[in-house]
């Protein structure tokens, strides 16, 4: 109903498990990596658990889309059956003819014959059971026995169990210890974090065809409180909120509309998303605090009554109460202007997580964009005069130290600083960028064979990636967008407002706001991280660059598949570079490979690169 009003191709908040809408948060990436890894192991169980609505089924759907072509899957969506019924369901999924008088033995024999036939043809078979917490002990034991079907060298069946946390309690029972010992990979999905929620919303809106923000920051915070970060609840409330906004003919979702949407989803009583365990702790803590407060109040009154504090205490309190509220308000405003975190707005970009942060890169959390050309989707403001538009200003002369106060504009135009920084960044890549011709930075980068990557992290992470980057920086309470051109342990060479100058590394770290955007060169036909089992031009590129990194020459004919051997090569490379060792080829792994195999890249090792 509201799609035409907002310019959407389809509803962005459908609760159907559509893999196109899967938001690959860090934990969803790890969950998918565990599933892909588990089915490459010879036999055994893979376990994925999570609360209702955390995205288990959607991750499983994504897995099915990425399975190699030589893998067959039997999917059981309703496992609440008898042993014979479950075996019959597996036969139906594998297209095995049913028995006239079905029994456990006859059905298992038929399944084994079919698995042997497929194995002889070079095919693998995976059994995926959703809602596995509904399985009885007898069913789980029978499923375990299916993993005994094997040849002299290989298991014939891999089994994936998806379920709610109750499944973990079930598998912890003593009579199921044999099954528990056969679990080769397990992962538990939790809710999204507060930082991930805006990225999740932007991702779903973007897939549905909308690029502008409709959920303001205060509304997003309230949405997180109402939903507890559970994707299904976020979708239900978000769908109702867009409908209400459409009815009101508004452009953005308001807090009132969001709360009304939550009432329609939950009923009149909007739940407080706090776990029962946490609730008990909070109640106990509150009881202790009330007791301490009562004791302290009694002690205070006793001391006052005895005259031990005298009138000076009342004078202090009176003085505090007489403080002008206006002064404290100004003071808070000044503090907020200095300390409020600066974030890239929806007008400037959208960030999604890809690879996990390397263990030793830096102490700040890392958020990585897998939307390769959409970090800066709104037009970059055009320069105001022809001289500035034609090139760097006449003041673009390199100076040697940042102690010159003239280097820091007192009343900077943030849009102009951003334009100048990106023009200089493209120059480092030997590309002339004119924002009047192409105001969308990342679209221009894509046309020139590059991509944008926006990260949350420290300068150590930037040094590890070894690429010039536009970064947020605070100097004496003023926010700037500057370009880091060179970086070492002692100093940094930066570009700001048409000038290049050096900064002590300690000053750079002190003013670093924790977010930066760089350009990188993706493989051909690269639109998302390369997962095991993938194929295509990007995998051919990966095969060639891994060989170059090892000093070898590729002798293959192309059309490679990202198989187990190549995954191990990637994991070894990731380990050597301090990356997260998961075998998934995300932007940071590609950047590191490019650094090893390509010479025509701007790096952070020379001033003014």
pLDDT digits (tens, 9 = 90+) for 417-457: 888 999 999 999 999 998 888 878 888 999 999 999 988 88
- Cα separation of 403 and 233, whole Å? 52
CB 332 within 8 A of CB 338: no
> Where on the phi/psi map is residue 477: left (φ > 0), alpha (ψ -120 to 50), or beta?
left
pLDDT band at 296 (very low <50, low <70, confident <90, very high): low
pLDDT beyond 60 at 339: no
- Cα separation of 163 and 51, whole Å? 8
pLDDT beyond 70 at 317: no
Q: pLDDT tens for residues 82-120?
A: 999 999 999 999 988 877 778 899 999 999 999 999 989
Nearest Cα neighbor of 157 from 88, 74, 56, 93 is 74
pLDDT beyond 80 at 365: no
Q: What is the mean pLDDT of residues 124-147?
A: 91
Neighbours of 511 (CB within 10 A): 18
Q: What is the mean pLDDT of residues 407-419?
A: 84
- Cα separation of 48 and 168, whole Å? 10
The sign of the CA dihedral 324, 325, 327, 332 is: positive
Identify the pLDDT of residue 295.
60
Identify the pLDDT of residue 313.
38
pTM above 0.85, yes or no: no
Nearest Cα neighbor of 186 from 80, 324, 44, 300 is 44
CB 524 within 8 A of CB 532: no
pLDDT beyond 80 at 33: yes
Tell me the angle at which helices 564-576 and 537-549 cross, rounded to the nearest 10 degrees: 50
Nearest Cα neighbor of 588 from 350, 357, 362, 352 is 357
The strand ranges marked E within 13-115 are 44-50, 71-76
CB 74 within 8 A of CB 127: yes
pLDDT band at 405 (very low <50, low <70, confident <90, very high): low
Half-sphere exposure of 88 (CA within 13 A, CB side): 12
Q: Which has more confidence, 46 or 99? A: 46
Neighbours of 283 (CB within 10 A): 10
Tell me the angle at which helices 255-266 and 231-247 cross, rounded to the nearest 10 degrees: 120
pLDDT beyond 80 at 320: no
Looking at the DSSP assignment, which residues form a beta bridge with residue 48? 162, 187
pLDDT band at 516 (very low <50, low <70, confident <90, very high): very high
Q: Which has more confidence, 398 or 149? A: 149
- Cα separation of 22 and 163, whole Å? 18
- Cα separation of 200 and 26, whole Å? 12
CB 242 within 8 A of CB 6: yes
Share of the chain above pLDDT 70, in %: 75
Identify the pLDDT of residue 518.
95
Identify the pLDDT of residue 312.
43
Torsion of CA 104, 107, 112, 115, to 10 degrees: -140
pLDDT beyond 90 at 129: yes
- Cα separation of 192 and 27, whole Å? 9
Share of the chain above pLDDT 90, in %: 34
Residue 22 CA to its chain's centroid (Å): 11
Identify the pLDDT of residue 297.
61
Neighbours of 385 (CB within 10 A): 8
Torsion of CA 156, 162, 168, 171, to 10 degrees: -30
Residues ≥6 apart with Cβ < 8 Å to 596: 545, 548, 549
Q: pLDDT tens for residues 212-260?
A: 889 999 999 999 999 999 999 999 999 999 999 999 988 899 999 999 9
Q: In this predicted structure, which of 244-258, 463-477, 491-505, 523-537 has the lowest mean pLDDT?
A: 523-537
Q: What is the mean pLDDT of residues 513-530?
A: 90
> Where on the phi/psi map is residue 22: left (φ > 0), alpha (ψ -120 to 50), or beta?
beta
Q: What is the mean pLDDT of residues 494-519?
A: 93
Identify the pLDDT of residue 369.
39
pLDDT beyond 60 at 299: no
Q: What is the mean pLDDT of residues 284-302?
A: 60
pLDDT band at 290 (very low <50, low <70, confident <90, very high): low
Q: pLDDT tens for residues 546-597?
A: 998 888 876 655 667 888 888 899 999 999 999 988 888 999 999 999 999 9
């Amino acid at each position: 109903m509201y799609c035409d009003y907002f310019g959407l191709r389809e509803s962005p908040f459908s609760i159907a498990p559509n893999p196109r809408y899967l938001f690959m948060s860090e934990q969803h990436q790890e969950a998918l990596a565990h599933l892909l890894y588990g089915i490459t192991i010879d036999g055994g169980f893979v376990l994925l658990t999570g609360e209702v609505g955390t995205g288990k089924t959607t991750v499983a759907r994504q897995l099915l889309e990425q399975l190699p072509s030589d893998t067959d899957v039997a999917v059981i969506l309703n496992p609440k059956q008898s042993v014979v019924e479950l075996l019959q369901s597996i036969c139906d999924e594998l297209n095995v003819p049913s028995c006239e008088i079905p029994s456990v033995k006859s059905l298992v024999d038929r399944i084994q014959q079919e698995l042997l036939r497929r194995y002889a043809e070079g095919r693998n078979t995976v059994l995926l059971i959703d809602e596995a917490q509904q399985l009885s002990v007898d069913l789980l034991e029978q499923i375990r026995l299916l993993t005994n079907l094997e040849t002299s060298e290989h298991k014939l069946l891999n089994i994936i169990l998806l379920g709610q946390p109750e499944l973990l309690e079930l598998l912890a029972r003593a009579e199921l210890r044999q099954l528990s010992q056969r679990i080769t990979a397990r992962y538990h999905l939790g809710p999204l974090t507060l930082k991930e929620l805006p990225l999740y919303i932007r991702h779903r809106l973007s897939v549905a065809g909308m690029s502008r923000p409709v959920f303001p920051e205060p509304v997003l915070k309230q949405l997180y409180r109402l939903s507890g970060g559970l994707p299904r609840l976020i979708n239900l409330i978000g769908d109702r909120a867009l409908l209400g906004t459409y009815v009101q003919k508004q452009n953005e979702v308001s807090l009132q509309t969001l709360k009304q949407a939550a009432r329609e989803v939950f009923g009149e009583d909007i739940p407080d998303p706090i776990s029962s365990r946490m609730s008990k702790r909070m109640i106990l803590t509150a009881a202790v605090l009330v007791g301490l407060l009562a004791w302290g109040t009694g002690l205070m009154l006793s001391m006052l009554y005895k005259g031990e504090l005298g009138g000076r205490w009342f004078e202090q309190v009176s003085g505090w109460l007489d403080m002008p509220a206006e002064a404290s308000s100004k003071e808070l405003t000044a503090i907020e202007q200095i300390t409020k975190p600066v974030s890239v707005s929806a007008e400037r970009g959208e960030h999604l997580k890809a690879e996990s942060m390397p263990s030793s890169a830096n102490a700040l959390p890392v958020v990585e964009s897998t939307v390769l050309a959409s970090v800066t989707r709104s037009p970059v403001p055009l320069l105001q005069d022809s001289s500035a538009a034609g090139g760097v200003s006449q003041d673009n002369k390199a100076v040697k130290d940042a102690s010159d106060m003239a280097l820091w504009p007192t009343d900077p135009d943030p849009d102009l600083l951003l334009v100048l920084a990106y023009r200089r960044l493209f120059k480092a890549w030997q590309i002339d960028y004119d924002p009047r011709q192409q105001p969308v930075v990342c679209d221009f980068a894509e046309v020139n064979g590059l991509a944008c990557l926006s990260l949350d992290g420290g300068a150590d992470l930037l040094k590890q990636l070894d690429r010039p980057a536009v970064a947020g920086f605070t100097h004496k309470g003023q926010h700037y967008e500057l370009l880091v051109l060179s970086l070492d342990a002692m100093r940094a060479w930066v570009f700001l407002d048409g000038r290049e100058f050096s900064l002590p590394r300690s000053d750079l770290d002190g003013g670093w706001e924790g977010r930066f955007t760089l350009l990188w060169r993706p493989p051909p036909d690269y639109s998302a991280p390369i997962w095991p089992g993938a194929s295509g031009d990007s995998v051919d590129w990966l095969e060639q660059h891994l060989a170059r990194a090892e000093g070898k020459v590729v002798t293959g004919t192309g059309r490679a598949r990202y198989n187990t051997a190549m995954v191990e090569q990637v994991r070894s490379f990731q380990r050597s570079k301090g990356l997260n060792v998961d075998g998934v080829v995300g932007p940071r792994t590609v950047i590191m490979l490019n650094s090893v195999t390509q010479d025509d890249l701007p790096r952070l090792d020379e001033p003014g690169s």
